[in-house]
Amino acid sequence: MTIKLDGKRVAAEVKANLAERVATLKEHGIVPGLGTLLVGEDPGSMKYVAGKHADCAEVGIRSIRRDLPADASFDDIAAAVRDLNEDPACTGYIVQLPLPRGVDENAIIGLIDPSKDADGMHPYNLGELVLHVQGDITTPLPCTPRGVIELLDAYDIDLNGKEVCVLGRGITIGRTIGLLLTRKAVNATVTLCHTGTRDIADHMRRADVIVAAMGSAGFVKPENVKDGAVLMDVGVSRVFDEQTGRFRIRGDVDKACYDKVSAYSPNPGGVGPMTRAMLLANVVEMAERKM
C-alpha cells in the first residue's frame, strides 16, 4: 500500500510540541522572537512572510517585522539587518528572498549574525554542517532539507544505507540536503543530479528515494521510478490550468508515479508545511540554548 506523507499533519504535531517548549521557556523568562525582513511588495513573498507570523502566533513566539520599500538601497537593507542583529527581543530572523534587482543577496546574508540565522543558510552555519559529519549540531539547520528528513522520520522511513537521488543543485535544497543525508546519523548515499547530468533517468531508476527539487512540473515520470521507491516532491512550478483559467502549483513528480511507489509527499501539502515548522523549531532551539 502506498503511504501519503502528510506534511500538514506532521507539521501540526511539531508545532504542538514547540508550543509546550515555548511555554517552558517563558516560565524561565525567555520569550523566543522570530524576525522577518521583507523588501518590496512581491505578493508571493508577502504571503509567505504573513504565514510565518501566523505560525508564530500559533506556538507563542513573538513576531518582529521589518518591512522596507522596493526601492530600498543596499545600505538601507544592511541597516535593517544590523538592527535585527542587535535587537535582544529577536532570537532569530530571516531575510525574505528575492531582494530587489541590483542588491547583492549573498552580501546581505553574510551580514546576518550566524547565531540568529533562522534559515540555517549563513556561510558559517553551512560550514558547521560540513564539519559535523557525526555528533550533535548546535547551529541552525537549513529548514527545507531538515523538513524532508523529519517528514520521513515521522513515518519511520529508514534512510540508513539507502540510495538517494537528489534532483536540482540549488542552495536552498539540492546542495544542502546532501550534507544532512550523508551525516552518520542518517547514513544515506546521495547522488546529486542537475541539468548537466548525463542519463539522469538511470540515476532515478536506481534510487530508493528521490528528492525532486528542480522546479520542473511533472519531471519525474513513472517509467523513471523503480517499484517501491519513496518520492519527496519539493519542486514548485506555477502552471496555467485551462479548465479553471487560473494558475496552480505543481510539483516535480507526475502523480501517475504514486501507484508504483511505497510512499510519496504530496505537493502542496507535503514538504512545504514542514519547512515552515522547521523555521519555528530553529528559533525555539536557539532560545533553549540560552537557558
Residue 268 preceded by cis peptide, ω within 30 = yes
The amino acid occupying position 27 is E
Pairwise CA distance, residues 253 & 235, whole Å: 8
Which residues lie below 8 Å from residue 16, measured CB to CB, with a gap of 6+?
Answer: none
Q: Taking Cα atoms as reference points, which of 279, 287, 286, 290 lies closest to residue 53?
A: 279
Which residues lie below 8 Å from residue 145, measured CB to CB, with a gap of 6+?
Answer: 173, 176, 177, 179, 180, 181
Helix (H) or strand (E) holding 64: strand 62-68
Residues in the chain: 291
User: Which of the residues 96, 117, 162, 208 is marked catalytic?
Assistant: 96
User: Which of the residues 15, 52, 116, 162 is marked catalytic?
Assistant: 52
Is 243 annotated as catalytic?
Answer: no
Read off the DSSP letter of residue 99. P
List strands edge to edge, sheet with 163-167: 3-4, 263-265, 230-233, 209-212, 163-167, 189-193
Is 4 annotated as catalytic?
Answer: no
Return the C-alpha torsion angle 69, 95, 42, 239, nearest 10.
170
Pairwise CA distance, residues 291 & 274, whole Å: 26
Pairwise CA distance, residues 185 & 200, whole Å: 28
Question: CB atoms < 10 A from the CB of 97, how many?
Answer: 15
User: Which of the residues 55, 116, 117, 119 is marked catalytic?
Assistant: 119
Which residues have a catalytic role annotated? 52, 96, 119
